[in-house]
């Protein structure tokens, strides 16, 4: 369809409607944001945005429902980590035992370098024990490079108890069900 351009009226050629409209729109917005307090600005450090549920924030280590370390120092996350931000020192043959009953070991040291981390979430995806999760934290800051390398204690403290996924409890229930499973010969 061809839309013919209407010739401009005299007022339009003098820019009058545009000028009046410009003044009206701008004064309306100015008064609204000046006296009505209706601004779109979120004043960041005081107000923070609610992150969406699937937001990938900083990866932290989580504890199980009893407050034990979930990580078993398998080092899968260390191997999968694309920017090599994770460093795990396993306990070794004579090291300390895990602090929960159904695991053999837990990491001697677990470090995440948040200067390297790219928040990709592969560590969370690969973890067989569901011990590391990308939580909601963003805007991590520090005054030195050393400060940005988080150790095991700090990661566990920040991650907190994550009782929602209780893998071993469910495995136990599954195992019991297996025993009662009617086997047909």
In the complex, which residues of this chain contact other proteins (CB under 8 A)? 18-19, 22-23, 25-26, 29-30, 32-34, 38-41, 43
Task: Report yes or no: 108 and 89 within 8 Å, Cβ to Cβ.
Answer: yes
Q: Nearest distance from residue 49's CB to other proteins, in Å?
A: 16
Count Cα atoms within 13 angstroms, Cβ side, for 131: 22
Q: Nearest distance from residue 23's CB to other proteins, in Å?
A: 7
Task: Report yes or no: 149 and 111 within 8 Å, Cβ to Cβ.
Answer: yes
Q: Nearest distance from residue 16's CB to other proteins, in Å?
A: 12
Token output for 36? 């009505």
Choice between 9 and 39, CB closer to other proteins:
39
Q: Are strands 109-113 and 132-134 parallel, antiparallel or unpaired?
A: unpaired
Choice between 37 and 164, CB closer to other proteins:
37
Choice between 31 and 172, CB closer to other proteins:
31
Give the list of residues 6+ apart from residue 35 with CB closer than 8 angstroms, or none: none
Q: Nearest distance from residue 8's CB to other proteins, in Å?
A: 13
């Amino acid at each position: 369809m061809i839309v013919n351009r209407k010739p401009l009226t005299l007022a339009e050629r003098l820019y009058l409607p545009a000028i009046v409209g410009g003044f009206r729109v701008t004064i309306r917005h100015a008064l609204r944001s000046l006296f009505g307090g209706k601004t779109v600005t979120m004043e960041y450090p005081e107000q923070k945005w609610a992150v969406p549920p699937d937001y990938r924030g900083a990866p932290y280590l989580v504890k199980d429902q009893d407050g034990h370390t979930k990580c078993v120092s398998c080092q899968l996350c260390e191997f999968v980590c694309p920017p090599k931000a994770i460093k795990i020192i396993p306990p070794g043959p004579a090291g300390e035992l895990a602090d929960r009953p159904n695991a053999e070991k837990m990491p001697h040291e677990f470090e995440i370098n948040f200067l390297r981390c790219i928040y990709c979430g592969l560590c969370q995806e690969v973890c067989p024990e569901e011990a590391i999760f990308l939580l909601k934290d963003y805007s991590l800051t520090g005054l030195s490079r050393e400060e940005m390398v988080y150790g095991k204690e700090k990661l566990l403290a920040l991650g907190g108890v994550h009782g929602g996924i209780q893998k071993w409890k469910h495995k136990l229930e599954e195992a019991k069900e297996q025993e009662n499973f009617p086997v047909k010969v």
